[in-house]
Structure 1
Amino acid sequence: MSFQAALTSENIQLTIPNDLAGSRLDAALAKLLPDYSRSRISSWIKDGGVLCNGKITTPKDKLIGGETVQVQIQESQENLAFEPETMDLDIVFEDDTVLVLNKPAGLVVHPAAGNWTGTLLNGLLAHCPELAQVPRAGIVHRLDKDTSGLMVVAKTLPAQLHLVNQLQNRTVKRIYRAVADGVVPFDGKIETLIGRDPHNRLKMAVVKFGGKEAITHVKVLERYHAHSYIECELETGRTHQIRVHMKEARHPLAGDPVYGNPRHVCSQPVKDAVKGLARQALHAYRLRFIHPKSGEEVAFETPIPADMYHLLSVLRLESGLHSSLSHEVEWQNQFEDDEDDWNEDDYDVQVVYVKD
């Protein structure tokens, strides 16, 4: 197939070859301009960005061959989104292979509808321009916008493949700390299928069929009057996994705007602290993986952020418990001294089933 085309600025002019006679305009242009999807070309036609013999057309117009077509190329938001943007990143560790950072709450990880700029990906491209050569700027896993904590980013393609394999083989250990509504009665394992909520496609839910296996290990660190401080280790990494699982266990995360219970009964000071959090009380606290280059296991921790710590302080004070940072450090040290804490054989096992 041959055609005549000339590129001037953002406009392409071409002549439709005779072997495309009878084709729809959008289908023909998709063949002649393979760098652009048919749906995108159709949107250009509908927006008046494509002229056929000088006239505005529709995507389904049939061609006879020999027409002169002018196409105004419009950069997609996706392409524009992959631009470097300087921002302050809390880098915990960095070498020539990987980068570990502490993501703040409120920062979107990857550009998408409604958030084409100001994302972590944009910041990573500014911090490390060579990430432009790695798919998704080296991002191998995500945190929800309003979840804070540790993430690992691959700086090379081999490192990215290595980390992705580790995630698939479940050798990356991700431990979160969270505040849940209610008094969680015991440690356990939540094992379900998670998929799109059949009643709201913008949410995830525990489903009976068609979902993906999701396993979360839950450990109670402390109990308060109407809340619990918990640790959650992900064995799998499904979208909104901890938030969905804790909702299914009838202990949704405090402050969760999607899966939480805004009418949870608690004292006014605690309500004010949860409202001030303005997000789900969830923090990716510990991250452990095999370094792609050295082959050695590396582990990182990051402290509970100030907003969650304030909520914990209010909860501890109300419950007559020590509310200082030293208590948190004591917990951390105790956890570090017991490397077998997350052996599921040591737990009472709780399997959450889907309710009819």
Structure 2
Amino acid sequence: MSRFQLQVTVPDELAGKRLDQALSSLCPEHSRSRIQSWIKSGDVSVNNINYKQRDEVSSGDVIAIDTKLQTIDKYEAENINLDIIYEDNDIIIINKPVGLVVHPGAGNPNHTLVNALLNFDNTLEEIPRAGIIHRLDKDTTGVMVVARTLESHTFLVKRLQERVIKREYQTVVCGQIIAGGSIENKMGRHPVHRTKMAVTSSGKVATTHYKVIKKFQHYTHLHVQLETGRTHQIRVHMSHIKHPVIGDPVYGHNKSIRKGVDSLLREIITNFKRQALHAFSLELPHPSTDQKIKFTAELPEDMIVLIEGLNKYDQAEK
């Protein structure tokens, strides 16, 4: 058992929310039931006053948490190879491979990144979600940070909420995008298909910036930077502007083959078996020094083959 202390300020977008709802948004690494138990126990205050979970918070309110943190979920350590980019006493930086689910859940009770991390460092069982600060989808590859201490975890979660941590991706999308741009709207659960996310009128603000790396005849290689980190954000935003990520099984699978594509290009695209999305860069302040550090992971082999195939096709067509 360890002590968990955190102080956060309520942003404008959470004004008017119930205390438990606001804290669930501000502390996504903790379950709603855990947060509600803290509130009931008097371990949460708002402007030094104890609130009930249904009480509403206002923009600028200071929420303080001071509680004993017990490990609720127990997961088995599994000997799964990890590609470690960097490690020290505070953090682990990994290059997540394709096909690895980050956290156990329905349909994936084990064989996840959490199980691999517990095998790599068994002290991570004392940290929420084994120290994982942010997630990547199962078939998205690339750089992730893991906190090795509760202090580092609290520090990094707060910096993520403050949008200090910079996450950059590369993706290949359908259609030609002429120039870079930004997408800003609200995202939430799809009103009908609840396992999907969608652009909605009442969701949370989501902002994505993108630049063109290279245009192909029917596809575009993009550099993407997240300002916010909503679930499936890049995939939803690219689909929203009618340029879904190649191979995306949820937001654009049937749109990956563009009209006018011949059999050779069709083969290149159909041979790519996942969404073409890679987290290639992560910049964050170090928990011990607050100094900015940056880590990168080169494109995985399957995306290199995809891009080379698109290049060769374009050259052959000239």
Q: Which moved more, 1:261-270 or 1:132-141?
A: 261-270
- Tell me the amino acid that sits aligned with residue 113 of structure 1: A
Alpha-carbon displacement from aligned partner over 1:132-153 (angstroms, at most 9, x marks no partner) = 1111100010000010000000
Structure 1 match to 2:311: 316
C-alpha contact (below 8 Å) 1:291/1:297 kept by paired residues:
yes
Spell out the pairing of 1:135-154 with structure 2 (5 A cutoff). 135-154=128-147
Provide the rounded CA distance (Å) in 2 between the counterparts of 1:257 and 1:267.
22
The match for 2:203 among 207, 211, 218 is 211
Provide the rounded CA distance (Å) in 2 between the counterparts of 1:281 and 1:105.
10
The match for 2:76 among 76, 83, 100 is 83
Structure 1 match to 2:228: 236
C-alpha contact (below 8 Å) 2:268/2:310 kept by paired residues:
no
C-alpha contact (below 8 Å) 1:270/1:311 kept by paired residues:
no
Provide the rounded CA distance (Å) in 2 between the counterparts of 1:261 and 1:137.
33
Structure 2 match to 1:270: 265
Q: Kindly, what percent of the aligned residue pairs are identical?
A: 45
Q: Does 1:281 align with 2:276?
A: yes
TM-score after normalising by structure 1:
0.66
Provide the rounded CA distance (Å) in 2 between the counterparts of 1:271 and 1:238.
31
How many angstroms does 1:278 deviate by? 1.1
Structure 1 match to 2:213: 221
Provide the rounded CA distance (Å) in 2 between the counterparts of 1:270 and 1:309.
16
Spell out the pairing of 1:57-206 with structure 2 (5 A cutoff). 79=73, 82-206=75-199
SS at match of 2:194: strand
SS at match of 1:320: helix
Provide the rounded CA distance (Å) in 2 between the counterparts of 1:268 and 1:100.
41
How many angstroms does 1:270 deviate by? 3.0
Provide the rounded CA distance (Å) in 2 between the counterparts of 1:118 and 1:94.
22
- Tell me the amino acid that sits aligned with residue 203 of structure 2: G
How many angstroms does 1:272 deviate by? 2.3
How many angstroms does 1:276 deviate by? 2.3
Q: Cα 1:261–1:84, aligned 2, differ >3 Å: closer, same or farther?
A: closer
SS at match of 2:155: helix
Q: How many residues align?
A: 243
How many angstroms does 1:79 deviate by? 4.5
C-alpha contact (below 8 Å) 2:182/2:210 kept by paired residues:
yes
- Tell me the amino acid that sits aligned with residue 137 of structure 1: A
Structure 2 match to 1:246: 238
TM-score after normalising by structure 2:
0.74
User: What is the aligned-residue RMSD (CA, Å)?
Assistant: 1.4
Q: Does 1:259 align with 2:251?
A: yes
- Segments of 4+ in structure 1 off by > 4 A? none
Q: Cα 1:172–1:84, aligned 2, differ >3 Å: closer, same or farther?
A: same
Q: Cα 1:163–1:79, aligned 2, differ >3 Å: closer, same or farther?
A: closer
Q: Which moved more, 1:268-277 or 1:135-144?
A: 268-277
5+ residue gaps, structure 1, are: 1-36, 38-77, 322-356
Alpha-carbon displacement from aligned partner over 1:34-59 (angstroms, at most 9, x marks no partner) = xxx9xxxxxxxxxxxxxxxxxxxxxx
Structure 2 match to 1:290: 285
SS at match of 1:105: coil
5+ residue gaps, structure 2, are: 1-32, 34-71
C-alpha contact (below 8 Å) 2:155/2:287 kept by paired residues:
yes
Structure 2 match to 1:42: none
Alpha-carbon displacement from aligned partner over 1:210-256 (angstroms, at most 9, x marks no partner) = 20000000101000010000011000000000000000011000000
Larger radius of gyration: 1
- Tell me the amino acid that sits aligned with residue 134 of structure 1: I
